[in-house]
Amino acid sequence: MAARALESFLEMMAAERGAARNTLEAYRRDLTDAIAHLGPGAAEADAAALRGYLQGLAAQGLSPRTQARRLSALRQFYRFLAREGLRRDDPTELLDAPRLPAPLPKALSEAEVAALIEGAQRLPPGKAAVAVAVLEMLYASGLRVSELVTLPAGALREEAPLLLVRGKGGKERLVPLSRRAREAARAAREGLAGKAGARPRSARFLLPSRAAGGHLTRQSVGLLLKEAAAAAGLDPARVSPHVLRHSFATHLLSRGADLRSLQALLGHADIATTQIYTRVLEERLRAVLEEHHPLAAPPARGRARQART
């Protein structure tokens, strides 16, 4: 029964949903494994039996992502059986998906950030000043792009070396900004103010624009960064305002900043959000150790190395 049901399910996926061959093979592998565990009555299995199967995957040491993929296949399969009248209910409705680990932030290296700024400087004159200012301010402060574009015109004052930023939920925080970032922002504002013309609304913002909001949009900032990336020879898909925020945090932490200070700079309400950057450092340190430590080499590689000495 279960084997026939599996073939019917795969036929449906191919005919009705146009599933690719690799997709069908993946479903076949995952469901065949489940059926082998559940036995001949797999098509009639209840939620408790399926839960036991999933717990067994965890006990085998399979990753949460693999467990989630298997559960997804089971959901599709039993939903199909219920829809076709081959069983009265869908037992997967009662199953909880495994908790997936939070993805690690994607950050550029320090050298890539430097190259990105150089790429921005090579853009046409009308864009270069703005692109450099955006890059300098995002990387020097860790601002969210929404915080950057809505900075008021008076945000940069000589007597106040800190920026007053209004973040999520209207919460305010003070953020230091380097001298070069301030100078870049002033240069960009002069050019943008002329382009924005006499629109009263645009005069309110540090980075004015003719856009409806009176300031640069998040989309225009994102496009500027991608143009700078292309000019620098970097993959534009790897560059975004949020990547620069992650780079700011990762580089500060790697150079000795403490988590509490980083939390304040980023405007995180919960330090648990900031702690994800420690995982980035752990991954990098582990990669360095595995790559360079002589005892971390695979046995074959280690023996070959010894043979040469």
Looking at the annotation, which residues are catalytic?
144, 168, 242, 245, 268, 277
Burial class (CB in 10 A: 0-12, 13-18, 19+), 262: buried
DSSP letter (8 states) at residue 157? B
**Angstrom distance (rounded) from CA 159 to CA 309:** 64
How many angstroms separate the Cα of 281 from the Cα of each of 101, 177, 288? Answer: 16, 24, 11
Burial class (CB in 10 A: 0-12, 13-18, 19+), 229: buried
Tokens of residue 263, six digits: 């939390």
**Angstrom distance (rounded) from CA 79 to CA 9:** 10
Q: Three-state DSSP class for 199?
A: coil
Tokens of residue 205, six digits: 């913002």
**Angstrom distance (rounded) from CA 127 to CA 156:** 21
